[in-house]
Structure 1
Amino acid sequence: MSTLTFTHIGGPTALLEVDGWRILTDPTFDAPGRTYKFGWGTSSRKTTGPALSVEEVGEVDAVLLSHDHHADNLDDAGRAMLAGVPAVLTTVPGARRLGAPAQGLHPWETTTLTHPDRPTLTVTATPGRHGPVGARAIIGAVTGFGLTWEGQQHGAVWVTGDTVLTSEVRRVPERLQVGTVVLHLGGVRFPTTGPLRYTMTVVDGRELCRELRPRTVLPVHHEGWSHFLDSAAALQRPELAPDGGSTVWAERGKPQAVEV
């Protein structure tokens, strides 16, 4: 049985450590206080800094990058660290923008991470849509990631990435048996676009988990930025995993051990 050590650093940024592998999601390490523009009249202020610095995180083997074009998923300090990372997995257009060592994956495309002293990790890109119908043409592509390796007992580790709850996202468990889900929430909304949402709310997350039936839910991307409008619901730390599963609202910077 493998044990995953999960450390929530802040926003969507988390360190996943398993069987010698150190995988970082969506690097955001800028100091708080700055307002970032996201295009089309939208912006957000970073309200909380990371629990760990780039130096405190140390070397990582790979970065799983939901998308590169919004600063709440890749800010300046996060972008700077990519040059020292052996593997960066992201969307196809994102890889073109970033250049080497970034590798772009289409939805349901797979790649592997290998090391002579560790189990091979298979990484599967999962679908997502960062907003309402038609959003891809305006907002751009996003992706999630499923991680599988020999020795897992409870199914894949799925990092949803920034997405709303779409029919494609609901169908992920048809192709990927998920035991642990790193669930991007926040219910992102902007004044200029009214009621439109760009990530899942707590209610959406609970609905998705009813279909996934994961053993463990690890919510992220629900604090630290002004556009996370579902933060109040997240602060109540609701249970999202059904049928005896557990929801771990991890304290930022504090490692959590999860059986996978």
Structure 2
Amino acid sequence: MKVTHLGGPTALVEVAGWRILTDPTFDPPGRRYTFGWGTASRKVAGPALPATDLGDIDVVLLSHDHHADNLDDAGRAVLPSAGAVVTTKSGARRLGAENVRGLLPWASTVLEAPGKPSLNVTATPCRHGPPLSRPIVGDVVGFALTWEGGPDGQFWMTGDTVLYPEVRAVPERIDVDTMLLHLGAVQFGITGPLRYSMTGEEGIRLIELAQPRIAVPVHFEGWSHFHEPQDHLRATFDAASDDVRSRVRWLEPGVPTDLA
């Protein structure tokens, strides 16, 4: 498995001949984006590589389509050329394209391509905010992947979520080999102390539960609504147990990294 972190939640994952892009965000920095209900954020850093440098994409794993820090305009332009886009049920209705598949949590789809092993994609639960926030923040999912000849455990992209019981229970249902861990402690001034994604401390607790071989932090830089940047997160993880520290892999943006 090779992973290239491109910035924010966006990563290129290459496994068994599949080229998988997560939450495409390729707009340049500077623009302010509104997220609804008075919330907004400014993009403060661009991608490590432009979308045009990536080549063909077989699959886009889109945790949700309605927030620009997970799908911005340049990222949206990538979707039509992808072999398949897997996202939420509501997102699939909004996108309305033939190559888009929508999943509810714990539903699965199988992707096929010539010369590649079948790729099984299962949506995992997320709650992108405090209790009772789903009607406001919308549907979000993570993804668990398996393929013939792959590791014993699964690749798990957590998606944008806080740490709540349904996410804590994911490791009870799947064995995790590699985790793409969405962090950032997202907050907005208008909603005060309420958070919409995991903190580093919560990420540590999830690693302790899931026991992945490797955990790759993403979704913590590049936008003004992220409140735990990399230096803060590194200090948090450096203070964790030896077991947790041994599992965390920080990726240099734009550099393909072999996680085998």
Smaller-chain TM-score range?
A: over 0.9
Distance 1:191 1:88 in 2: 33
Q: What SS class does the counterpart of residue 237 from structure 2 fall into?
A: coil
Name which of structure 1's ranges 233-242 and 192-201 shifts more when overlaid on structure 2: 233-242
Match of 2:155 among 154, 157, 162: 157
Per the alignment, residue 147 of structure 1 pairs with: 145
Structure 1 residue 246: Cα displacement:
2.2
Structure 1 residue 209: Cα displacement:
0.7
Q: What SS class does the counterpart of residue 203 from structure 1 fall into?
A: helix
Structure 1 residue 118: Cα displacement:
1.3
Per the alignment, residue 5 of structure 2 pairs with: 8
Per the alignment, residue 106 of structure 2 pairs with: 108
1:16-165 alignment runs, 5 A limit: 16-100=13-97, 101-165=99-163
Matched letter for residue 124 of structure 1: T
Quick check: 2:217–2:249 contact (8 Å CA) kept in 1? yes
Count of residues in correspondence between the two structures: 256
Matched letter for residue 30 of structure 1: D
| Stretches of structure 1 lacking an aligned partner (at least 5 in a row) | none
Could you report, residue by residue, the CA deviation over 1:48-82 in whole angstroms, capped at 9, with x for unpaired residues? 00001111011100100010000000000011111
Per the alignment, residue 242 of structure 1 pairs with: 243
Q: What TM-score, normalized by structure 1, do the two folds share?
A: 0.95
Could you report, residue by residue, the CA deviation over 1:127-170 in whole angstroms, capped at 9, with x for unpaired residues? 00000011111110000000111222341000001000010000
Quick check: 1:108–1:124 contact (8 Å CA) kept in 2? yes
Could you report, residue by residue, the CA deviation over 1:240-259 in whole angstroms, capped at 9, with x for unpaired residues? 78367421110100111012
Q: What SS class does the counterpart of residue 206 from structure 1 fall into?
A: helix
| Stretches of structure 2 lacking an aligned partner (at least 5 in a row) | none
Q: What SS class does the counterpart of residue 126 from structure 1 fall into?
A: strand
Quick check: 1:213–1:242 contact (8 Å CA) kept in 2? no
| 1:255 equivalent in alignment to 2:256 | yes
Quick check: 1:209–1:242 contact (8 Å CA) kept in 2? no
Distance 2:170 2:125 in 1: 8
Q: What TM-score, normalized by structure 2, do the two folds share?
A: 0.95
